[in-house]
Amino acid sequence: MTTLPARASAAPPLRPLLLLTGAVLLAHVLLLQAAPVQWGMEAEPASKLRPLLTRTIEIKPADAAAPTPAPKPVRRTARATPALQQNTAPTLAVQAPAAIESVATAPPEPAQTPPVAPPPPAEPSPPPAPVAAATALTIPGSVRLKYTATGQSKNMEYHARSQLDWLQDGEAYQASMVIGAPGLGRRSMASSGRITGDGLAPTRFLDKSRTERAAHFQSDKGTITFSANSPDVPWLAGAQDRLSVFVQLASLLAGDPAKYPPGSSISLYTAGPTGADTWTFWIEGEAKLSLPAGEFNAVKLTRKPQRDYDQTVEVWLAPSIGWLPVRTRLTQHNGDFVDQQLRSTETPP
């Protein structure tokens, strides 16, 4: 009886041990099953890991063992390059003729009347080139010519004396004309300049009565300027002033008288104290004059008015005194005039 109680007391400890062991095993199983659920929040699915692996392979060196999709873009690029090169030249060759053709065969646009531009403002016509250029000339020698003058001023007749001094040394010249009468005052003109292949080339012209006015011939600048504040005018080779013009005419006729038959004309660009204009002299023919200095055969030239307030200039040139004037008559637009007739010639001092 004593033995039985010992077995009974040993059985109870085995059962709790088994139960404890089973519980531990069950806890491990449950732990292993729960682990994927907890980590799945941070881990990527397998389908998303493949693209990352593909991109990584593409940037590897070309001798990688594993085949990758990277060469595919390279093969496409290789095929595209010859295609681009093959199409470039034909495209250019076709486009250029097409552009020309489109211009040539384009349908005409409706005609449009072009706007009519307003006419440009009228400009003064340039003075003609002097006739004296490249023409035979004979410059008269130095001489003093004295005249008897009659005239009319403001409906009053007068008598006066005048004198023309002409001096030249083959290179330069000086000319002066003075006219005066008691009660009428005195007027003088002077011209100075050079002797050139075109004849006389004035450098300064002076006109003096109550006031003094001058014209300056600036050939180096191509202008003629005036002391009276008048606008400058062009300078031309052969241009004259209102005193030298008479000696220039004499030089032209003396150089080649047959060149100036009756009906012909000589045009000379002539400057006064305030401006310049073209003076055209018409050759009217020969005339025989009876003057205070004697009988003279002369050729008459006339400059007719070209506009209002122009003066008529008549001059008689005599071959016997170097074709210099033996008579001049200037008539104003209002009828006033002065008529100078040669009364003597002298050798200048």
DSSP, res 221: T
Complete DSSP assignment for 320-338: GGTTEEEEEEEE-TTS-EE
| Start-to-end C-alpha separation, the chain | 199
| Entry field: residues in the chain | 349
- In angstroms, the CA 131 to CA 274 distance is 23
CA angle 126, 230, 281 (to 5 degrees): 45
Domain boundaries defined on the chain: 143-152+162-346
pLDDT per position as a tens digit, 117-176? 555 544 444 444 444 344 799 999 999 999 999 999 888 899 999 999 999 999 999 999
| 201 pLDDT more than 80 | yes
What does the pLDDT average to over 282-308? Answer: 96
pLDDT at 14: 56
Q: What is the pLDDT of residues 75-85, one digit of tens each?
A: 333 333 333 33
- Supply the DSSP symbol for 124: P
State pTM to two decimals: 0.63
d(C-alpha 138, C-alpha 319), whole Å? 12
Whether the pLDDT of residue 245 is over 50: the answer is yes
Name which of 38-52, 142-156, 334-348 the model is least confident about.
38-52
DSSP helix/strand/coil, 89: helix
Amino acid 220 reads: D
| Amino acid at residue number 161 | R
Nearest to 311 by CA among 333, 278, 327: 333
Please give the structure tokens belonging to residue 145: 């010519």
Is residue 276 within 8 Å of residue 233, measured between CB atoms? yes
Three-state DSSP class for residue 130: coil
Q: What are phi and psi of 254, to 5 degrees?
A: -70, -35
233 vs 221, 222, 230, 275, CA distance in Å?
11, 9, 9, 7
Q: What percent of the chain has pLDDT over 70?
A: 62
CA contacts within 13 A on the Cβ side of 10: 5
DSSP 166-183: EEE-SSEEEEEEEEEETT
